[in-house]
Amino acid sequence: MRVSLFITCLADQMYPHVGESVVRVLHRFGCEVDFPETQTCCGQPAFNSGYQNEAREVARNLIRAFEHSDYVVSPSGSCTGMIAHYYPDLFRREPEWAEKARRLVEKTYEFTQFLVHVLGVKDVGAEFGHKVTYHPSCHASRLLGVKEEPIELLGRVRGLELADLPRKEDCCGFGGTFAVKMADMSEAMVCEKAANICETGAEVLVGTDMGCLMNIEGRLNKEGKPIRVMHLAQLLEEGMDRHGKQ
């Protein structure tokens, strides 16, 4: 199965190891993964700030980059949600580009969506002997409906104790430009999220969007909390390596 990795800006510039983990996990299940180097931003920052024309031009570039891909997989529910929900509307007055956008939407998946629904994988054969709590990001759960897939994958990791996160449906306060424009409110939200995470007694926080995880990790570090923060792809890869060495 041929898969193209949509790395996203944040992972590409700050968390490339997350993309590497996605690729390694997909390789384990027989996927041939490529990386179109012409890909850039999905256009979400411009779109959320009201610059639709600029977002449209950025979106055209992304559509071109993945035009010949069989499947597109991303470690971000937020960027995947941008494509799935807003690309068709961006090009509603341009039939040719609307069709190209539709084809991209149909073949683009968030990482856990692809594992569970396309590859049919719920048990990756991993072992991770730690207490873990999971933060469901807003865009993945609300825009894409990705709710059970991460839990199904975590639930089959041997030795992992999954602690339910209180008020898990609450936003962490990142929200892209929201964290800049509404900094005081954003800080209050992430403080509350960090307190709820600490309440679980978890050693590890896992999620599927690096924007959320970056925001929460920053708060935890500022408070001196020794909680490891990981993308789910990293946890699965590390757990698969541990299990394979036994």
Question: Residue 58 above 90 pLDDT?
Answer: yes
Q: Which amino acid is at 35?
A: F
The CATH code for residues 131-244 is: 3.40.50
- Average pLDDT, stretch 208-234? 97
Count the helix, strand and coil residues of the chain and give each as a percent rounded to the nearest 5.
Answer: 55, 15, 35
Encode pLDDT of 131-186 as tens digits: 999 999 999 999 899 999 999 999 999 999 999 999 999 999 998 778 878 889 99
Q: For the chain, what is the mean pLDDT?
A: 95
Q: Give the pLDDT score at 60.
A: 98
Instruction: Please tell me the distance from the alpha carbon of residue 76 to that of residue 14, in angstroms, as a whole number.
Output: 14
Render pLDDT for 16-26 as a digit per residue (tens, 0 to 9). 999 999 999 99
Whats the size of the chain, residue-wise? 246
* Among 90, 84, 11, CA closest to 46: 90
**242 pLDDT exceeds 80?**
no
Decide if 233 contacts 25 (C-beta within 8 A).
yes
Residue bearing tokens 């690096």: 210
Query: pTM score, two decimals?
Result: 0.94
